[in-house]
Amino acid sequence: MSLPATPGQTIGPFFGYALPYDGAPLLVPADHPDAVLLHGRVLDGAGDPVPDALLELWQAAPEGRVGDGFAGFGRAETDAEGRYAFTTLTPAAPFFALTVLARGLTDRLFTRAYLPEHPGVAQDPLLAALALGRRRTLLVLADDDGWRFDVRLQGEDETVFLTYPRH
């Protein structure tokens, strides 16, 4: 028997207790010798912080796999200023895959945070297909803390979001 797909739900009575878990934004411990910080803000169309978003990060370890203590998945909530942070490893691919869930979204949003210095970034077909102005919205910026990636949900400099067939 085939069941019809159901719509995604980004908020509901489960949001406050089922999604967060201890250590969710720590894909590796902060004192791991290869730990890096991916951080930023989630902003709405007016440039105001989104204080109740949830981001999921998906990636493989530097050697291109998950396992051996590295699950390749984490969750981070935004604070009152829309800030989030993940402690992780440099991914094998030239990007981190991110999912954004927040109040007002009817379904999750998918995007990528690209590392401009990664050797594979120049050959990435998705990034190469975008106009320079749009491509810029997917690039992380190196700063004193690690890599910064702001997510703009709409408006000027809106982050490029991806769609997947049958999603």
Residue 121 lies in a domain: yes
- 3-class DSSP state for residue 63? coil
Tokens of 100: 């954004």
Residue 112 lies in a domain: yes
Residue 109 lies in a domain: yes
Residue-level pLDDT at 13: 46
Which residues does residue 74 pair with via DSSP β-bridges, in sequence order?
57
> What total of structural domains would you count in the chain?
1
Residue 62 lies in a domain: yes
Residue-level pLDDT at 104: 83
5-50: pLDDT as tens digits:
665 655 554 455 556 677 899 999 999 999 999 999 999 999 999 9
CATH number for the domain that contains residue 80 = 2.60.130.10
Residue 166 lies in a domain: no
State mean pLDDT over 52-60. 94
pTM: 0.88
95-112: pLDDT as tens digits:
999 999 988 888 899 999
Residue 48 lies in a domain: yes
Write out the residue range of the structural domain in which residue 51 sits: 21-152
Residue 1 lies in a domain: no
Residue-level pLDDT at 105: 85
**Of 48, 43, 37, 45, the residue nearest 74 (C-alpha):** 37
Tokens of 28: 């590796």
113-142: pLDDT as tens digits:
999 999 999 999 999 999 999 999 999 999
Residue 127 lies in a domain: yes
